[in-house]
Structure 1
Amino acid sequence: MKKEFAVIGLGRFGGSICRALSDEGMEVMAIDSDEEKVNEYATIASHAVVGDTTDETVLKSLGIRNFDHVIVAIGDNIQASILTTLILKELGVKNITVKAQNDKHEKVLSKIGADRIVHPERDMGRRIAHNIISNNVLDYLELSDEHSIVEIVASDRLIGNTIIDLDIRAKYGINIVAMKRGREIIVSPQADEQIQKGDILIVIGADTDINRFEKRLLNS
């Protein structure tokens, strides 16, 4: 059964989510107060609606509480973002993801019950910075303020060793949860799995432990 999503705010962030969900075959209602933006997504989303989401009667008329997930991606208008989120909570929407402009905005959203708060610009900045710092890091996904999942290209120091030889969990407190080898994905690799040239290790752990691993084993 297809899930139904509503995306409120069709700027770059909201628009990209709307496109991605639609590409995955999901039912998506695109909502914005700007008619021009709504017209742009009329052929992309399942439904595209002009509406002021700070008006409770508008959200009720759209049957917003029936959607599985609502994404509030309102741009620079923090007041509209907060008020929309508050109304969605009061109407009983099950899952609400909200784009935060800054830490204070996040704090308010958290207090009024947003289920998930994202900082797309900040998070992308961190990912790019992490990739620039280390030549071995391909991708970086922040799980919390202190934990991440990182894709790391196996360096010369790692090639030829098995996972048990490296004893990464005991020495660094991190786990190799998967390995990419060409088009093959090895999930939960065995202890005797030998690391080959070109392997990409998918590692999970505390940021401090991942950084220690990078510095000691990867920076040849």
Structure 2
Amino acid sequence: MINQYAVIGLGRFGMGLAESLVEAGQEVMGVDTNAERVEDAQVLLTHAVIADSTDPDALKSIGIRNFDTVVVAIGNDIQASILSVLLLKEEGVKKVIAKAINKPHGQVLEKVGADWVIFPERDMGERVAHMLLSPNVLNFIELSKDYSVEEMKIPGSMTHKTLRDLDLRARFNLSVIAIRHGKKINISPSPDEAILEGDVLVVIGEKKDLERFGNLT
């Protein structure tokens, strides 16, 4: 499904996000007040325009309310970030995602209507720490405060056994939702599926249980 995104602020984070969305087949318009950044973005994104997101008339002129999701990726100008979110919600944008540089900034963004506030530097720091502390974890998605989905390497002692043999639900209170064999992914694998050397399990469960399993060697 192709959606239309607008990314306001074409710095390192905003541009990286916009390019990833384009690579995923989505339509993306980049917005920035910096003409040089917009010129660079025009060859990479679906559209790129020079506009001031703190100006209501400028937002109307680029048809901002027609986008499914707008990401406010403005850097250190907290005032511009907050005002942009406020104006976007007043324009009727259904989903506004905003980058915050600290907790107070994030709290204000939520109060003025941001549907989702992200903290790129904090979140990346937490991800790196989690993966350092759990050496078998390759990647993870946080579902809530207590639950995650994680990709985990299998300890050597568990290879050439079936999911039924491993019985992770009984032993660790975890559910295996997929097995990755190289580039191939087996969704909802059978209990009789054998785990081969180099396989990666995609597991869902409580963080405390995932941590116990992830620390096995």
TM-score (norm 2): 0.92
**For residues 186 and 2 of structure 1, what CA distance do their matches in structure 2 show?**
25
Tell me by how many angstroms 1:24 deviates: 3.2
**For residues 210 and 26 of structure 2, what CA distance do their matches in structure 1 show?**
36
User: Is the Cα–Cα contact under 8 Å of residues 127 and 141 in structure 1 kept in the other structure?
Assistant: no
User: Is the Cα–Cα contact under 8 Å of residues 182 and 199 in structure 1 kept in the other structure?
Assistant: yes
Tell me by how many angstroms 1:142 deviates: 2.1
Counterpart code for 1:69? T
**For residues 152 and 47 of structure 2, what CA distance do their matches in structure 1 show?**
41
**For residues 170 and 111 of structure 1, what CA distance do their matches in structure 2 show?**
43
The equivalent residue for 1:214 is: 214
Map Cα deviations across residues 10-57 of structure 1 (whole Å, 9 max, x no partner): 011101122122233432211111122111112222222112111111
Equivalent runs, 1:34-49 vs 2, <5 Å: 34-49=34-49
In the superposition, relative to structure 1, how do residues 181 and 25 fare at CA in structure 2: closer, same or farther (>3 Å)?
closer
The equivalent residue for 1:4 is: 4
Equivalent runs, 1:1-220 vs 2, <5 Å: 2-215=2-215, 218-219=216-217
Counterpart code for 1:31? V
Counterpart code for 1:80? A
Q: Which runs of 5+ in 1 are unaligned?
A: none
Tell me by how many angstroms 1:149 deviates: 1.6
Tell me by how many angstroms 1:141 deviates: 2.3
**For residues 5 and 193 of structure 2, what CA distance do their matches in structure 1 show?**
42
Counterpart code for 2:177? V
**For residues 2 and 156 of structure 1, what CA distance do their matches in structure 2 show?**
41
Tell me by how many angstroms 1:162 deviates: 2.0
**For residues 182 and 48 of structure 2, what CA distance do their matches in structure 1 show?**
41
Tell me by how many angstroms 1:153 deviates: 0.9
Tell me by how many angstroms 1:2 deviates: 3.8
**For residues 202 and 2 of structure 2, what CA distance do their matches in structure 1 show?**
30
Tell me by how many angstroms 1:5 deviates: 1.4
Paired residue total: 217
**For residues 184 and 47 of structure 2, what CA distance do their matches in structure 1 show?**
38
Q: Which runs of 5+ in 2 are unaligned?
A: none
**For residues 171 and 113 of structure 1, what CA distance do their matches in structure 2 show?**
43
Tell me by how many angstroms 1:178 deviates: 0.4
**For residues 166 and 138 of structure 2, what CA distance do their matches in structure 1 show?**
21
Counterpart code for 2:78? I
Structure 1 segments (4+ residues) deviating >6 Å: none
Tell me by how many angstroms 1:184 deviates: 2.2
CA RMSD of aligned residues (A): 1.7
Tell me by how many angstroms 1:64 deviates: 0.5
TM-score (norm 1): 0.91
**For residues 137 and 25 of structure 2, what CA distance do their matches in structure 1 show?**
32
**Secondary structure of the structure 2 residue equivalent to 1:212:** helix
